[in-house]
Amino acid sequence: MEKARGSQFSSFNGYIKQVPRAMFYLITGAYVVNIEKEDDVSVINRNGEVELAEQLKCKTRNIFDNCSKDFWNTLYNWVLNWKDENAKFTSSTRFVIYSSTNFDFKEVVKKLYEANEPTEIEEAWAAAKIIFAETKPKDFDYLDENKNITFKVIKQLEIVFPEESIDKDLDKIIETEYKDVYKDKFDNFVTHLNDWFYGKVIKLDPKKNKSCTISKKDFDVFITHYNGSKKAVKLPSYSELIPKDLEQLKNNQFYKQLEIVNAPLNIKDTAKKEYLSWKIIEGTELKEGLSSEKNLQQAYLEAKNNWEQKKSDIEDLHDDKSEDKRGRLLYSECQDVSIKIDGVEINDNGKRVARGVYNHLADKGLSHELSVGWHPQYKVMLEANGDFEQE
């Protein structure tokens, strides 16, 4: 998985067997699905606990032989992880070996897998130690030393084989869940679903971060966007904002922009709150897939165009006022701009949204295409003071 990647398509080749299984669990109701984190594929519940940890085995040799390296190393990894991350694995965690080939179980594996009660597991383990008296798997001693956890894993072990194949089983569950919903548009839905899901993995850089997380919330957003419904979002209330985070914003460029037009303290304090509120939903609620990102950037561009028009009008109509006053007037006028994002309905005061967006743009680098400011010469003044961001 560390080899160099070429095309975008090859960027998820390292996850090619995990992706269909991850999508399978997401479609069947998983709260959060991880790829290459707790295991090849894992399902996390609302409490942050591992509901399922799955190892995928696409082997031509029997992975259920008595001394199979694959089988024993899988148990070893689960026991090791349970010791290191006790809070994540629980007595309800399903430990799944998904084998693409339906191999026969050899004696040791068969006895361990069929054992359910503690006494049965003890007996199966004792029988394994006799069989391994002379030659034993590499990880057996470690598992024996940690029998309290090993036996829990064995009790919660599941071995799963495909009904047909990994891909065909996924196709079947998608058809079961959505064929009647989308009818003649079903093929189009599947195309968009694949583009969305694989797109999540394509964004991943395996050299920097091997894991990928996709949640039910992500999936619900995709469905909402596909169905053409608007996504409702709301800005955080002021009480939800962290005072320390707000205090640090005094060093930001948007704040300095208000300082150079001598904006009152209450205006600057409100600007900090709206800037932070907008950054919170912009970084979470709004950036959900490429289409939403495109719509968001279009909304910013329209806001910039409105700023340019208001700036021009104020310069023509209020050239008798000082530059500071013109700057404060421009900031005030921009608060009346209606911010519209395609596919999103922002259930909040329009002025709050406008203040958040315009302070966000006022924080952009001076060379950025979306940069805005309040003083007629804001770029010159910020550059002269060294108080500016470059992008």
Bridge partners of residue 53, in order along the sequence: 42, 95
Separation of CA 205 from chain center:
14
Q: Which of 351, 346, 374 is nearest to 270 (CA)?
A: 351
Q: Which of 212, 215, 217, 214 is nearest to 38 (CA)?
A: 212
Q: Quote the pLDDT of residue 207.
A: 55
Q: Strand ranges (DSSP E) for the chain?
A: 32-35, 41-44, 50-57, 94-99, 157-160, 212-215, 231-233, 344-346
Strands 344-346 vs 231-233: parallel, antiparallel or unpaired: parallel
% pLDDT > 70, the chain: 88
What would the mean pLDDT of 276-294 be, rounded to a whole number? 71
In this structure, of 77-91, 119-133, 321-335, the range with the lowest mean pLDDT score is 77-91
CA distance to 2, 26, 196, 213, per residue, from 11 (Å)? 11, 21, 15, 16
Confirm if 26 and 32 have CB atoms less than 8 A apart. Answer: no
What would the mean pLDDT of 203-212 be, rounded to a whole number? 61
Three-state secondary structure readout of 11-22: HHHHHCCHHHHH
Query: 267: which 2 tokens?
Result: 């205006």
Bridge partners of residue 55, in order along the sequence: 97
Residue 111 has pLDDT above 80, yes or no: yes
Query: 320: which 2 tokens?
Result: 């008798």
CA distance 155 to 152: 5
In this structure, of 78-92, 221-235, 259-273, 349-363, the range with the lowest mean pLDDT score is 221-235
Q: Quote the pLDDT of residue 75.
A: 96
CA angle 203, 208, 213 (to 5 degrees): 50
- The length of the chain is 391
* pLDDT digit string, tens, across residues 367-385: 999 999 999 999 998 887 7
What would the mean pLDDT of 334-360 be, rounded to a whole number? 88
> Residue 285: which pLDDT band, with cuts at 50, 70 and 90?
low
Give the start-to-end residue ranges of the domains of the chain: 9-225, 233-385
CA distance 165 to 101: 9
What would the mean pLDDT of 14-30 be, rounded to a whole number? 84
